[in-house]
A and B are shown apart, each in its own frame.
Chain A
């Protein structure tokens, strides 16, 4: 990247970073009504988010589109493996569409209901959403999906549809797992210095994914230790293969927490529920991403910004949906765990 592009990107990132709401401001929005939330968000971020009374998903789509629009200029200066890495990272947004689509088709939901939940990804879209929506049944949808960049998850999806029926969590996990494995592969193609800096955030993300899904598989869905371990993704910062294998064999959440490496377990000791653990892990991921965003390395700063902005977008989307459906603040607070 030329020095002009570096200076441009650095300035862009600084401006975008200063517009991020941050976890504390986001939490402060919880008790407010929808109009005040919008006013505050617009005031701070400089965006012009609006409510459309005729379309309840309008605002959610606006938030996602705005994030994707902001990703365009920060990815553009990159080329080669770096650009591919970021394009793949942004696919995370598309996984939401993919899950909505598969769930919708498997449960035979009406196309208009599925469509409302889909986010317009513009130039970043890989899925032929219109064609997929127009399929008559899950088999046809899966055949079409097999021709896309997501062909890798089709076999698992067929298994789920034909054999497991309602085990859609398994499919969600497979989609996420495949995403992280491929993202890690692309990370390894980056320049050594870049890869190591990006790994500061990605390592924590992978630890979070692995630990949470391990707990869910073992203690919520009661899968065997072998299958639980198999469904985990690439090694992260603290949880390597051997550690994960050891953890998979344990029988209670307390045992798992006690067996975690100190660097990870210190914050989690004493927690009893998976949602509490999830919240702490998410806070720490965002804290690390915020720290990295202030560093010098542009690749890692961009990655950190994407992680933070994506978390902020999903948090706001969940908050707004909760407010639109007039849910109790306590319920919204519970639902928000897992969105950031």
Chain B
């Protein structure tokens, strides 16, 4: 029922420096090593022998990735995974790829310029469109007089007002004659003497001039033809450049393939650049491995390393537990639930992995809140139909559907009808108080289990004080049991006396004493902290338990929603009746189903996980080959 992350051992490996890359490759093939940086430098090794290798690798990878974005076909030629890569090979390839990228980048820049030119030409062509109907001789605009300068073009909307005011400072006028696509199409006029200043200003304002060719002496329609020609030239140039780029990429294919091989084969060694430490021809490294792989690692290293090496496997010490990575392994059924758990956090190595408990309680609660044979069958069938596309979702959905079917039998509910099937127990509507009490009982059990898990987690990491005296420890558990007892006495036997008060205050006094000891603040602040934290504990004890009333509330809500659908349906004719029943049931399955799924998750995360699960673990990330 309770699982733990896979047992880990700390591995310390010392070898001859020429064997370091072989070791990296071997361990990467096995995918068993989570590298660990030696912060304390326990072996007094101050050099990082793989650092320059890593820098070149990184540079090559970055350049290769940029070119690779242009490629559509993946690299899938077989690789010899025992090949070692030298720094020289990497450097040469990096230089080659750099030169290639410069060529590709130049073509890309030319393309960008052509695209920009095409856009501007298109905008000017649109601008000119406004003159076509005027049959105006535009060559007059080109022949600005000695005194008058006239310019036609476009300016971005955002710059127009500021430009208008700035032009007025040099006594130029600007008149828009059309606006669209974020541009103002304008005519600018003013004294020729100021044109130099204006030219600079217009460039700053991102003004695009409608240039009228020197030889041009026609009307707007002819100029439009001229612009269309320019546009077609730009398009031709774009086609040429794209063709050039694809030919280039094809030509450099073998180099890229080789580069890809080098990157794959050198990645493990480069990835260990901060982990491998060396001095005087020796290299050391640390890492975490699964305890079960100890022998296999030994054998593989013996097989592939050229020189003798020293390897030591140690169980993690208590002080190291926080840094041990967690490897969680579950079968295909629990895998989707594991994802839901990791949404909250990854279990710390020393913590209980709550996946199994979570899965069972989640499925159970969903059924309790959404018990209906028909709805459950729809959810389970729907999930199966989606199995190919959404595997994880379909497993969770199918199990929730089954749970819903099971509780449907318990409640005797089929598509909201409460009188077709005889209930194994009863419909929640018949005795809501009992249903509420069952939900409270379930909540209390859930919280007690959470508390026990918290105590276990504290003890595992050596936090005995917290395990015994904190609000989540044994004292907290006793207080909770006392609170349940007191509530029972009050509700059932109508008595709340000295005995109940003593039961409540005894564990509470330990908790308060613990909080007092934990605080390092001044006297007044200490009193305040203890008072507030105790109050918070009492409130959360009550509120967390009451929070489980929603389990009952939703089972009642389910029936109430169905009743509402039937009552609307009863007002319709035969066809309307069945349409309403079908649509109403779809509505219940989709909307209420989603709400219940979320509410269950909320109960798990906030009432369960927050009590015993830190979720601050580090995922086990093994060194591996990126093939």
A and B associate: yes
What residues of chain A have their CB less than 8 Å away from a CB belonging to chain B? Answer: 134, 136-137, 139-140, 143, 155-156, 159, 170, 181, 223-227, 229-232, 241, 245, 248-249
Please determine whether A226 and B105 come into contact, CB atoms closer than 8 angstroms: no
Please determine whether B169 and A226 come into contact, CB atoms closer than 8 angstroms: yes
Please determine whether A224 and B200 come into contact, CB atoms closer than 8 angstroms: yes
Smallest CB gap from A229: residue in B: B166
Given A136-B98, A136-B101, A155-B206, are A226 and B109 neighbors across the interface (CB < 8 Å)?
no
A202 to chain B, nearest CB (A): 18
Query: Looking at the complex, which one of A137, A143, A230 makes contact with B163 (CB distance below 8 Å)?
Result: A230
Please determine whether B165 and A241 come into contact, CB atoms closer than 8 angstroms: yes
Bound: A232/B205 CA distance, A: 12
List 20 additional A-B contacts (Cβ < 8 Å) besides A227-B201, A232-B162: A136-B63, A136-B98, A137-B102, A137-B105, A139-B109, A140-B109, A143-B112, A156-B204, A156-B206, A159-B204, A170-B204, A224-B170, A224-B197, A226-B166, A226-B169, A227-B197, A229-B165, A230-B204, A245-B169, A248-B169
A-B contact pairs, 27 of them (CB 8 A): A134-B63, A136-B63, A136-B105, A137-B102, A139-B105, A140-B108, A140-B109, A143-B109, A155-B206, A159-B203, A159-B204, A223-B200, A224-B197, A225-B170, A226-B166, A226-B169, A226-B197, A226-B198, A227-B166, A227-B204, A229-B165, A229-B166, A230-B162, A230-B163, A231-B204, A245-B168, A245-B169
Bound: A140/B106 CA distance, A: 9
Please determine whether B105 and A140 come into contact, CB atoms closer than 8 angstroms: yes
For B281-300 the 0/1 string (1 means CB < 8 A from A) is 00000000000000000000
A166 to chain B, nearest CB (A): 16
Please determine whether B201 and A230 come into contact, CB atoms closer than 8 angstroms: yes
Contacts of A225 in B (CB 8 A): 169-170
Bound: A227/B200 CA distance, A: 7
B167 within 8 A of A: yes
Query: Looking at the complex, which one of A139, A143, A170, A249 makes contact with B169 (CB distance below 8 Å)?
Result: A249
B62 within 8 A of A: yes
Contacts of A134 in B (CB 8 A): 62-63, 66
Query: Looking at the complex, which one of A136, A156, A226 makes contact with B201 (CB distance below 8 Å)?
Result: A226
Contacts of B170 in A (CB 8 A): 224-226
Interface size on B, residues (CB 8 A): 28
B268 to chain A, nearest CB (A): 22
B270 to chain A, nearest CB (A): 16
Bound: A242/B170 CA distance, A: 15
Please determine whether B197 and A136 come into contact, CB atoms closer than 8 angstroms: no
Contacts of B62 in A (CB 8 A): 134
Smallest CB gap from A133: residue in B: B62
Please determine whether A143 and B201 come into contact, CB atoms closer than 8 angstroms: no
Contacts of A137 in B (CB 8 A): 102, 105
Contacts of A139 in B (CB 8 A): 105, 109
Please determine whether A143 and B108 come into contact, CB atoms closer than 8 angstroms: yes
Contacts of A143 in B (CB 8 A): 108-109, 112
A184 to chain B, nearest CB (A): 12
B123 to chain A, nearest CB (A): 14
Interface centre among B101, B197, B201 (most CB of A within 10 A): B201
Bound: A102/B370 CA distance, A: 59
Bound: A136/B104 CA distance, A: 11
For B158-186 the 0/1 string (1 means CB < 8 A from A) is 11001101111110000000000000000
Bound: A223/B169 CA distance, A: 13
Contacts of A155 in B (CB 8 A): 206
Please determine whether A230 and B205 come into contact, CB atoms closer than 8 angstroms: yes
Contacts of A226 in B (CB 8 A): 166-167, 169-170, 197-198, 201
Smallest CB gap from B106: residue in A: A139
For B204-224 the 0/1 string (1 means CB < 8 A from A) is 111000000000000000000
Given A229-B165, A229-B166, A230-B163, are A224 and B201 neighbors across the interface (CB < 8 Å)?
yes
Bound: A249/B166 CA distance, A: 11
Bound: A245/B170 CA distance, A: 11
Contacts of B203 in A (CB 8 A): 159
Bound: A225/B169 CA distance, A: 7
Smallest CB gap from A230: residue in B: B166
Bound: A134/B101 CA distance, A: 12
Bound: A241/B197 CA distance, A: 20
Interface centre among A134, A223, A232, A241 (most CB of B within 10 A): A134
Smallest CB gap from A111: residue in B: B59
Smallest CB gap from B102: residue in A: A136
Bound: A154/B104 CA distance, A: 21
Bound: A79/B390 CA distance, A: 35
Contacts of B159 in A (CB 8 A): 230
Bound: A231/B206 CA distance, A: 12
State the 6 A-B residue pairs at the shortest beta-carbon distance, nearest first.
Answer: A230-B166, A224-B197, A226-B169, A226-B166, A134-B62, A227-B201
Bound: A249/B170 CA distance, A: 10
Smallest CB gap from B61: residue in A: A134
Contacts of B200 in A (CB 8 A): 223-224, 227
Given A136-B101, A226-B170, are A245 and B165 neighbors across the interface (CB < 8 Å)?
yes
A297 to chain B, nearest CB (A): 30
Smallest CB gap from A231: residue in B: B204
Contacts of B102 in A (CB 8 A): 136-137
A129 to chain B, nearest CB (A): 13
B196 to chain A, nearest CB (A): 9
Bound: A229/B158 CA distance, A: 15
Contacts of B162 in A (CB 8 A): 229-230, 232
Smallest CB gap from A144: residue in B: B66
Bound: A323/B134 CA distance, A: 70
Contacts of A223 in B (CB 8 A): 200
